[in-house]
Amino acid sequence: MRRLIDKEISWERLDKSMKVQNIIVLSFLAVALLMISGCDAVKKSEMSVHDMWIQAAPKEQKNSSMYLTIQNGTGAPIVLTGVSANVSEFVELHTIDRNGENMVMRKVDGFSIPDQSALALKPGGAHIMLINLNQDLKAEETVPVTLHFKNGADMELIVTVKKMSDMIEE
């Protein structure tokens, strides 16, 4: 390796077999570097959404809720600022304020997700509220949903409707 980077040693002085061997090594190095840089790029831009579901509810219930987990591995904080879904008139982000055994929901403008951490929306806590349902939400149906982020990015998802009783501990 030293031979390859040593400017005093010219390529001409290397015998042919040595040249071939070093070219192969260099090629491997180049490919490895590309792969490493490629992996790094993937890792830095990685954001995954999983465990997403919408609570089944007939239209008459008026409201429902959606839950998900967003894993942020992008290398920077991200902020979920809104959600669009055509199954309800409005969609809002809500958190829960607790005071002893009492609780109250509170509308928020966004959920911040620091780098290398996750936002987990689960029953009994922060959630996405679907207000004034336009239709019945039947279990196992799917709903197109778009997540909106502060940096202007949108993410389109297909979310399955589930019965609340099937999604909590039995």
Partner 1 sequence: MKKLLILIAFSFALAACKPQDHKNGYATNDFTLTSTDGMSFALSKLKGSVVLLYFGYTNCPDACPLTLATITNVFKDLSEAEQKKVKTVFVSVDPDRDSPTRLKEYLSYYKTISPIGLTGSKEELQNAIGKFSGTFKKMDSDSKSGYLMMHPTSIYVLDPYGNLVFKFFHGEELRVLKDQIHSLL
Q: Which residues bind partner 1 (CB under 8 A)?
A: 55, 57-58, 60-65, 89-90, 92, 94, 96, 98-99, 101-107, 123-125, 127, 129-132, 163-165, 168-170
Q: Which DSSP string corresponds to 8-76?
A: TS-GGGS-HHHHHHHHHHHHHHHHHHHHHHHHHHHHHTEEEEEEEEEE-B-GGG--EEEEEEEEEESSS
Least distance CB 143 / partner 1 (angstroms): 15
By beta-carbon proximity to partner 1, the closer residue of 83 and 130 is 130
Least distance CB 120 / partner 1 (angstroms): 13
CA 37 distance to own-chain centroid: 21
Least distance CB 140 / partner 1 (angstroms): 17
By beta-carbon proximity to partner 1, the closer residue of 65 and 146 is 65
> How many whole angstroms separate alpha carbon 161 and alpha carbon 138?
6
Least distance CB 100 / partner 1 (angstroms): 9
> How many whole angstroms separate alpha carbon 91 and alpha carbon 54?
12
